[in-house]
Amino acid sequence: MKEFKMSPKPMWNSLGDIPMGSSCPSFHITDINAGWRVFKPVVDLEKCIGCYRCYFVCPDGAIHMSDDKKADVDYSFCKGCGICAHECKPKAISMIKEEK
């Protein structure tokens, strides 16, 4: 995803540092979800036909279509659920085990 706000996580040393009430605006993200993954989707750009299916079915919205109409995965927020690979008709997405 191109436009979202990701602010640095504030450091809290004591209880007094924690603000009262709602302190952040809408769409304020501080953590990424990449650590959840066991398998990660890898798009074969030659096989990708730009059908928008993976972008459509991703529960996290972590796939967007790049300017040349190919699937582009945001690995910071992909949870590796595998719906995109399962739904991809030309089998352009394969799930590959994450290596730490």
Partner 1 sequence: MSTNTKLNARKLDSTENFYGHKACGGCGESLALRLALKVLGDEAYLSLPAGCMAAVSFIYPNMAFKNNAIITPFASTAAVTTGIAAGLEALGKKKPLSVGFAGDGGTADIGIQSLSGAIDRGEKFIYICTDNEAYMNTGIQKSGLTPFGAATTTTPSGKVIHGNINEKKNMFEIVAAHGIEYAATASVGYLEDFINKVQKAKDCAGPSYIHVYSPCPTGWGHGSEITVDLGKEVVDTGLWYLAEFEKGEFSLNLKPKDFKPVKDHLMRQNRFRHINDEEIKMIETTRDAKWAKMLKNWNI
Q: Which residues contact partner 1 (rule: CB under 8 A)?
A: 1, 3-4, 6, 9-10, 23-33, 36, 52-53, 55-61, 64-65, 77, 79-83, 85-87
Ordered DSSP codes for 30-51: ----GGG-SEEEEE-TTT----
Least distance (Å) from partner 1 to the CB of residue 51? Answer: 8
Q: What are the residues whose beta carbons fall under 8 Å from the beta carbon of 35, sequence distance 6 or more?
A: none
Q: Among residues 6 and 45, whose Cβ is nearest to partner 1?
A: 6
Q: Among residues 26 and 46, whose Cβ is nearest to partner 1?
A: 26
Phi-psi region of 16 (alpha: psi -120 to 50; beta: other; left: phi over 0): alpha
Q: Among residues 48 and 53, whose Cβ is nearest to partner 1?
A: 53
How many CA atoms does the CB half-sphere of 78 hold within 13 Å? 24
Least distance (Å) from partner 1 to the CB of residue 54? Answer: 10
Tokens of 88: 């991809």
Least distance (Å) from partner 1 to the CB of residue 61? Answer: 4
Least distance (Å) from partner 1 to the CB of residue 45? Answer: 19
